Amino acid sequence: MPRSEARVTTDRPARYAKQLAAHMGRKIEATFSEETGRGTLVFGAGTATLEAGPDALLLTVEGERENLPGLEDVVGRHLVRFGARDELVVEWHRDNGEPGLVHRNEEPDEA
């Protein structure tokens, strides 16, 4: 199945994975295990996996090729919003070599 991956550098990968799964779990099937540092999000158009590493959150979305941009968008957009203070950047890389979406906090700093 077509897939896209992103490695999000952060010193709090498990925290963000847990927060993302809890938030998405209000509308879809979502799990996260603090023991394993792994989680899944099940969308109608595909799935996402979350894996908390020592210094990064590894994200993978899988679905039909035409659904990848939408999956990248919903996962990346929500994660960047949660990680605004840490200025998280989610840059997707598709398995066919096409560039994926890039998400970063674009809101101006408040003085």
pLDDT tens digits for 13-64? Answer: 999 999 999 999 999 999 999 999 999 999 999 999 999 999 999 999 999 9
Would you place residue 105 in the very low, low, confident or very high pLDDT band (cuts 50, 70, 90)? confident
Contacts of residue 97, defined as CB under 8 A and 6 or more positions apart, other chains included, come to none
> pLDDT tens digits for 59-82?
999 999 999 999 999 999 999 998
What is the pLDDT, as a whole number, of residue 23?
96
Q: How many helices (H) and strands (E) does the chain have?
A: 2, 7
CB-based burial label for 67 (10 Å; 0-12, 13-18, 19+): middle
Check residue 107 and give its pLDDT. 59
